[in-house]
Structure 1
Amino acid sequence: MIITVTLSPTIDKTIFVDGLKMDAINDMKGTREDAGGKGINVSKMVKKLQGDTLAIGLIGGEVGHIIKKKLDDDNIPCDFIQVDQPSRYNIKIVDRQRKTFTDINEGGGYISPEKIAELEAKIFQQASEGDLLILSGRVPDNVDKTIYRKWIDKANRKGIKVILDADHEPLKEAVQAGPYMIKPNIHELERLLNTTFKSLQDITNRLSELFIYGIQVIVLSLGSQGAYLFTAHEAYYTPGLSVHVKSTVGAGDSMVGAMAFCIAKGMQLKDAFHYAVATSTATVQKEGTLMADLDTIESIKDKLEIKNIKL
Structure 2
Amino acid sequence: MILTVTFNPAVDQTMTFDESLRPGAVSRATDARFDAGGKGINVSQYLAALDADTVATGLLGGFTGTYIRQSLSESGVPTDFVDIDEPTRLNTTALAAGEEYKLNQNGPDVDASVVDDLTATARSHGPDRVLVGGSLPPGLDPDVIDRVADAGEWRTAVDVGGDVLAALEGEYGLAKPNRDELAAATGAAVETVAECAEAARRLRERGFERVVASLGGEGALLAGPDGVVFAEAFDVDVVDTVGAGDALLSGVLAALDRGLSDEAALGNGVAVASRVVQRAGTSVPDFEGLDADRDAVETRRL
Tell me the amino acid that sits aligned with residue 8 of structure 2: S
**Does the 8 A contact of 2:204 with 2:223 survive in 1?**
no
Indicate which of 153, 173, 186 corresponds to 1:193. 186
| Offset from partner CA, 1:18-75 (integer Å, 9 cap, x none) | 2222122223110111111110000000000111110001110111111100011111
Q: Which moves more between the two structures, 13-22 or 294-303?
A: 294-303
Structure 2 residue runs without a partner (length 5+): none
Specify whether residues 265 and 113 from structure 1 end up closer, same or farther in structure 2 by C-alpha distance, changes over 3 A only.
Answer: same
- Secondary structure in 2 matching 1:113: coil
Structure 1 residue runs without a partner (length 5+): none
Tell me the amino acid that sits aligned with residue 110 of structure 1: D
What's the counterpart of residue 267 of structure 1?
260
What's the counterpart of residue 249 of structure 1?
242
- 1:308 offset after TM fit, Å? 2.2
Q: Aligned equivalents of 1:204 and 1:49: distance in 2?
A: 28
Specify whether residues 20 and 300 from structure 1 end up closer, same or farther in structure 2 by C-alpha distance, changes over 3 A only.
Answer: farther
Tell me the amino acid that sits aligned with residue 240 of structure 1: A
Q: Aligned equivalents of 1:222 and 1:206: distance in 2?
A: 13
| Offset from partner CA, 1:150-183 (integer Å, 9 cap, x none) | 222334xx2x111111014321122x31211111
What's the counterpart of residue 146 of structure 2?
149
Map residues 166-181 of structure 1 onto 2, 5 A cutoff.
166-174=160-168, 176-181=169-174
Match status 1:164 vs 2:161:
no
What's the counterpart of residue 71 of structure 1?
72
**Does the 8 A contact of 1:17 with 1:30 survive in 2?**
yes
Q: Which has the higher contact order (CA 8 A, sep 6+)?
A: 1
Identity %: 28
Specify whether residues 266 and 301 from structure 1 end up closer, same or farther in structure 2 by C-alpha distance, changes over 3 A only.
Answer: closer
- 1:296 offset after TM fit, Å? 5.9
- 1:101 offset after TM fit, Å? 1.8
Tell me the amino acid that sits aligned with residue 5 of structure 2: V
- 1:104 offset after TM fit, Å? 0.6
Specify whether residues 116 and 192 from structure 1 end up closer, same or farther in structure 2 by C-alpha distance, changes over 3 A only.
Answer: same
TM-score (structure 2 length as normaliser): 0.93
Aligned residues: 301
Q: Aligned equivalents of 1:232 and 1:123: distance in 2?
A: 27
What's the counterpart of residue 288 of structure 1?
281
Q: Aligned equivalents of 2:67 and 2:194: distance in 1?
A: 47
Indicate which of 196, 204, 223 corresponds to 1:230. 223
What's the counterpart of residue 13 of structure 1?
13
Q: Aligned equivalents of 1:272 and 1:171: distance in 2?
A: 22
- Secondary structure in 2 matching 1:246: coil
| Offset from partner CA, 1:226-285 (integer Å, 9 cap, x none) | 011112432211112232122211111111111111111111121111111110111101
Specify whether residues 208 and 283 from structure 1 end up closer, same or farther in structure 2 by C-alpha distance, changes over 3 A only.
Answer: closer
Q: Aligned equivalents of 1:163 and 1:215: distance in 2?
A: 9
- Secondary structure in 2 matching 1:216: strand
- 1:122 offset after TM fit, Å? 1.4
- Secondary structure in 2 matching 1:164: strand
What's the counterpart of residue 239 of structure 1?
232
- 1:304 offset after TM fit, Å? 2.4
Q: Which moves more between the two structures, 195-204 or 135-144?
A: 195-204
- Secondary structure in 2 matching 1:78: coil
Tell me the amino acid that sits aligned with residue 166 of structure 2: K
- Secondary structure in 2 matching 1:213: coil
- 1:298 offset after TM fit, Å? 4.2
Specify whether residues 206 and 10 from structure 1 end up closer, same or farther in structure 2 by C-alpha distance, changes over 3 A only.
Answer: closer
